[in-house]
């Protein structure tokens, strides 16, 4: 436990320093986030914070890798490192000069293959005790969809100060708690990310009040790194976290992504066309406060984390019941928010007017 605290605060300190450096350079070079009709902030705010906390995470994770012996990764993990750099560099480039969606997707595909080819994949759908839950060859396309999907899911939900960072920090801590039962290194790896994101969130406090955004580079890096955690399997440790447990833990961004794709297909629009109907947009219309949106979704993430943790610990039939409860919570939440938002839409005179009335402040 002492070692975990040292890793967390070391990563936190590194991230804080790195983000300060990026913040000062950004102000000096006038590297500010561009404001458009979808943004809910005003003023000149840099958006390269992700570069800072990603650098802190990599440094901390490399140190932990050398400090902890017999991780069992060996040369297998080497292709994953350039994939991380590819994601953060391409994302940072996109923050300066927006890339075409097809090029973003190509980079995400390459990054996913860098994880799958060395053998980091899902192995089970459910608890290994259920013999029917093995994945066999389907683990490869399923892991591919998981990585690419989660990169975009975290990117999509990054629309309010502290939201993507807070959810990612809480998810990383839950992954760490689960991993401590079998793999000390994997847990420390998760804690490195939690500390790095925590150092970045200092610059979002008091929430919301961002001095710097993580940008596409940061959100895509978070999605990619979170996607890795349930796939890591070390020598002499339990198998990677089963698919349905990992998906429940990250249910908020995943269900938001699924809803976004369904909405755009239903309306005959391209999947990558942005809109203002994501979960955080709907909650902003209902609460009129970005702070309340953060608190609501952080609270939901804590509930999901607790349910998934206890589901993993429980095993057997009780595990399935708790896991089912996690999915029931997610589905119920999204359903309620959908119908409340639809009621507001009707009262406001239609979707077009509703979009125009989205709050433009972050308080």
Q: What pLDDT, on the 0 to 100 scale, is given for residue 133?
A: 62
Query: How far, in Å, CA of 304 to CA of 180, rounded?
Result: 18
Closest CA to 118 of 73, 58, 71: 73
DSSP labels, 67-124:
HSS--S-GGGGTTHHHHHHHHHHHHHHHHHSPPPHHHHHHHHHHHHHHHHTTT----B
Instruction: Summarize pLDDT for 201-260 with one digit per residue, the tens.
Output: 998 876 667 788 898 989 999 999 999 999 886 544 555 789 999 999 999 999 999 999
Q: What's the pLDDT at 61? A: 86
d(CA 247, CA 254): 7
Is the predicted pLDDT of residue 149 greater than 70, yes or no?
Answer: yes
Q: Which residue has the higher pLDDT, 147 or 98?
A: 147
Contact (CB, 8 A) for 214 and 52 = no
**Among 85-99, 101-115, 177-191, 213-227, which stretch is predicted with the lowest mean pLDDT?**
177-191
Residue 42 is predicted with a pLDDT of 53
In a domain, 156, yes or no: yes
Query: Rounded to an integer, what distance in angstroms lies between the CA atom of residue 68 and that of residue 188?
Result: 10
Residues in Cβ contact with 57 at an 8 Å cutoff, skipping those fewer than 6 apart: 11, 15, 192, 193, 196, 225
pLDDT of residue 135: 78
* Partner residues linked to 124 by β-bridges: 134
CA atoms of 214 and 237, how far apart (whole Å) = 34
Domain assignment present for residue 295? The answer is: yes
Provide the pLDDT for residue 33: 67
CA distance 200 to 32: 17
d(CA 256, CA 258): 6
Angle, helices 101-116 vs 80-96, to 10°: value is: 170
Residue 282 lies inside a defined structural domain of this protein: yes
Is residue 361 situated within a structural domain? no
**Which of 12-16, 20-24, 127-131, 322-326 bottoms out in mean pLDDT, i.e. has the lowest?**
127-131
- CA pair distance 83, 66, nearest whole angstrom: 20
Q: What is the pLDDT of residue 132?
A: 61
Residue 157 belongs to some domain of the structure: yes
pLDDT in tens, 173-186: 999 999 887 667 78
Q: Per the structure, how many domains does the chain have? A: 1
pLDDT at 362: 39
The structure tokens 């433009």 sit at 360
Residue 363 lies in a domain: no
Q: What pLDDT score does 355 carry?
A: 46
In a domain, 362, yes or no: no
SS3 32: strand
pLDDT (tens digit per residue) in 252-289: 999 999 999 998 888 888 888 777 889 998 999 898 88
194, part of any domain? yes
pLDDT of residue 343: 85
Tell me if residue 46 falls in helix, strand or coil.
Answer: strand
Mean pLDDT, rounded, of the chain: 85
Say which residue, 33 or 328, is predicted with more confidence: 328
Closest to 362 in 3D by CA, of 280, 276, 302: 280
Give the pLDDT of residue 96: 83
Positive or negative: CA dihedral 163, 167, 168, 169: positive
pTM exceeds 0.95: no
Phi, psi (deg, nearest 5) at residue 129: -60, -25
- Strongest mean pLDDT among 2-11, 19-28, 119-128, 324-333: 324-333
pLDDT of res. 170:
97
Average pLDDT over residues 60-78: 70
Q: Which domain holds residue 343?
A: 2-356
353 pLDDT more than 70:
no
Cis peptide before 208 (omega within 30 of 0): yes
* 356 band by pLDDT with thresholds 50, 70 and 90: very low
How distant, in Å, are the alpha carbons of 152, 250, 302, 355 from that of 243? 18, 11, 19, 35
**pLDDT computed for residue 147 by the predictor:** 97
């Amino acid at each position: 436990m002492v070692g975990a605290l040292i890793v967390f605060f070391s990563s936190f300190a590194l991230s804080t320093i790195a983000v300060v450096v990026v913040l000062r350079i950004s102000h000096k070079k006038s590297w500010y986030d561009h404001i458009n009709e979808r943004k809910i902030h005003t003023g000149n705010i840099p958006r390269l914070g992700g570069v800072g906390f990603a650098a802190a995470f990599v440094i901390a994770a490399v140190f932990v890798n050398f400090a902890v012996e017999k991780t069992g990764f060996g040369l297998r993990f080497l292709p994953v490192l350039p994939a991380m750099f590819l994601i953060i560099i391409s994302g940072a480039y996109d923050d300066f000069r927006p890339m075409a969606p097809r090029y973003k997707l190509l980079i995400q595909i390459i990054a996913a293959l860098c994880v799958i080819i060395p053998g980091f994949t899902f192995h089970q759908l459910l608890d290994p005790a259920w013999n029917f839950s093995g994945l066999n060859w389907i683990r490869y396309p399923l892991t591919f969809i998981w990585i690419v999907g989660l990169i975009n899911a975290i990117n999509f939900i990054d629309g309010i100060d502290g939201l993507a960072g807070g959810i990612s920090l809480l998810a990383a801590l839950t992954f760490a708690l689960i991993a401590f039962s079998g793999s000390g290194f994997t847990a420390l790896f998760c804690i490195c990310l939690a500390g790095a994101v925590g150092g970045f969130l200092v610059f979002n406090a008091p929430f919301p009040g961002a001095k710097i955004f993580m940008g596409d580079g940061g959100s895509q890096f978070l999605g990619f790194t979170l996607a890795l955690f349930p796939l890591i399997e070390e020598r002499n440790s339990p198998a990677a976290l089963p698919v349905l447990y990992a998906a429940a833990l990250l249910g908020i961004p995943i269900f938001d992504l699924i809803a976004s794709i369904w909405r755009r297909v239903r309306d005959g629009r391209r999947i990558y066309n942005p809109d203002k109907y994501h979960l955080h947009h709907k909650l902003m219309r209902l609460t009129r406060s970005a702070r309340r949106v953060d608190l609501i979704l952080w609270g939901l993430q804590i509930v999901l984390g607790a349910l998934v943790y206890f589901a993993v610990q429980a095993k057997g039939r009780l595990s399935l019941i708790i896991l089912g409860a996690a999915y029931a919570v997610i589905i119920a939440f999204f359903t309620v928010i959908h119908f409340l938002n639809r009621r507001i839409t009707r009262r406001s005179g239609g979707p077009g007017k509703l979009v125009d009335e989205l709050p433009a402040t972050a308080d």
